[in-house]
Amino acid sequence: MLLAKPIKQPLPYFEDSAQLFAPMASRPWAVFLDSAAHVDSRHGRFDIMAYGPVCTLQTSGALTTLSRNGVERVVSDDPFQLLKRELGSPLPVIDGLPFNGGAIGYFGYDLARRIEKLPELAVDAERIADMAVGIYQWAVIVDHQRRQSWLVGYDLGEDIVATLKAEFSHLPLSKEVSEFKVLQPPRSNMDKPAYSAAFAKIKHYLKEGDSYQVNLTQRFVSPCQGDPWVAYSVLRRINAAPFSAYLNMPDVQVLSSSPERFLKVTEGRVETKPIKGTRPRKADPEQDRRQIAALAASEKDRAENVMIVDLLRNDIGKCCREGTVRVPELFAVESYATVHHLVSTVTGELAPDQHALDLLRSCFPGGSITGAPKIRSMEIIEELEPHRRGVYCGSIGYIGFDGNMDTNIAIRTLVHNHGTIRFWVGGGIVNDSVLDEEYQECFDKASALLQLLARFSA
C-alpha cells in the first residue's frame, strides 16, 4: 500500500464520544478505543474511532485469512510479521496525536500458540479468531484534554474527507431504540470446590519449584439476546477505565473496560505498566483510605508485583537498546471504580532494528496475567482452566502506520457471540496465597461486570 500524504482535519468536539460512535457501532469492523476521560480524566485522554478497514487479518490456529477489496487469501505466515508487512515502512508522525491510521483490533491470549509450543487441553468454547485486526486508512481522534477532535489518515480523497467530516460533525438527532437482555444469571466454570482443587495443584507446583507465580482464572457465562453496544454503553459508565474498547468484529463483539496498559511505543520510547495487587473500593472514604494504605504496605502484593516487573524487564529488554530499560515507578496505587490496584512502570528505548510488532510478539502474552516463569505458568494454566481464554488476557489496541503503538491487557473484558456473553476473572497465586482471599479477589474484580449483567437480567 503506497501511502504518503497525511490528512489532519479539525472536527467539532463532543464530550461523550460514545454518542458520536453509537450510529457506527453496528457497522462491520467498527472500533472504539475508549479512554473513559469523560468520567475520569486522571488516566485517560484520547478516544479513537474508525470503521471500514481497507484490509483485515484473522488468525485461527496456524492460518491467517487476509482480506482486501473482497478478495481473500489464506497464509501460514507468522501473524505478527504478516501484520508488520501489511503496515509497510513507518510513515511520518502527525504531530501531537497518538494515531494517524494503521492497525486496530485484538490479539487473543491463545495467539501465544504461534509463538510457543503449548499443550491443547482446554475447551475452545468461543470458536473465534485468535487475532482479528483491521487496517484503517483513517480515524477520528478525540483529545479530551484539549477538547479538540480531528480526522486523520493518509491519502484520503476529497470526497471521502467531506463525507467523514459531515458524519462526525454532529451527534445523532434521535437515538435508535435497542435492547439487550441477559436471560440467566452468569455461571462460573469453577465452583468453589473446583477452584480449591486447582489452587491446591498450583500450590503443589510452586512447592516443587515449577513456578513462582501462576495466574488462575475462572470464566462466567450467561445466555443473552439483543445489542451488546447497549451493554457497553452502561459498562463504560459504571466501570470507567483508561484502556476500554468496543470492537464489532465478525462473529464477535468485545466489550473491554481494562485498567491495564500492556505496551506503549511513542517514537521509539517503550512503556509497560503491569498491575499486581488489588483491594476492593469502600463507600466510606476513611475505610477506602485504609484499603489504599493496606495495599501499599502489603509485602505479599509487592513481592508479586516485583516478580512481574522483573519478567517484563526481561521481555522488553529483548527489543530495547542495551542499558535503556528502567523502572521509574514501583508500587504506585491507582484507584478505579470498584478496586484499587498496585501498578509499576517499566520503560526502555526500542532498538533501531526493532518494530513495535516485534516488541509485542516478544512480550506476548503479558506476564502480569500468566505468572513467572511465563511458559511453565502457561502450561499449568492450560492444565487447570477448563476453557481457553480467547480474547481475555490477550491485548486490544493499535499499531499505527507511524510505528507508534498502545495496547491494553484485556482484563475486565466481556466477549459476546452466539447468543452468549462471557467474562473471566482471576489473580496470581504465590506460595503465601490464601485460598479464601484469592477466591474473594475474583469476585472483587468481577463486581462491575456482575453488576452490569444484573442490570440487564430478564
With H, G, I as helix, E, B as strand and everything else as coil, classify residue 226. Answer: strand
Catalytic residue among 276, 374, 379, 441: 276
Residue 201 designated active-site: no
64 touches 58 (CB < 8 A):
yes
Other CB atoms within 10 A of residue 203 CB: 16
C-alpha grid cell for residue 183? 436471560
Residue 276 designated active-site: yes
Tell me the C-alpha distance between 105 and 38, whole Å: 22
Of 84, 87, 79, 27, nearest in space to 58 by CA? 79
Catalytic residue among 260, 349, 385, 438: 260
Rounded to 10°, the helix 192-208/374-384 angle is 150
Burial of 341 (0-12, 13-18, 19+ CB in 10 A): buried
Of 44, 38, 39, nearest in space to 259 by CA? 44
What residues have CB less than 8 Å from 135, skipping those under 6 apart?
1, 53, 54, 55, 56, 57, 86, 87, 102, 103
Dihedral, 283, 287, 290, 291 alpha carbons, nearest 10: -40
Other CB atoms within 10 A of residue 196 CB: 14
What residues have CB less than 8 Å from 217, skipping those under 6 apart?
381, 385, 389, 392, 393, 424, 425, 426, 427, 442
Cα-based distances in Å from 332 to 213, 274, 277, 362, 392: 21, 11, 10, 26, 24
Q: Which residues are catalytic?
A: 260, 276
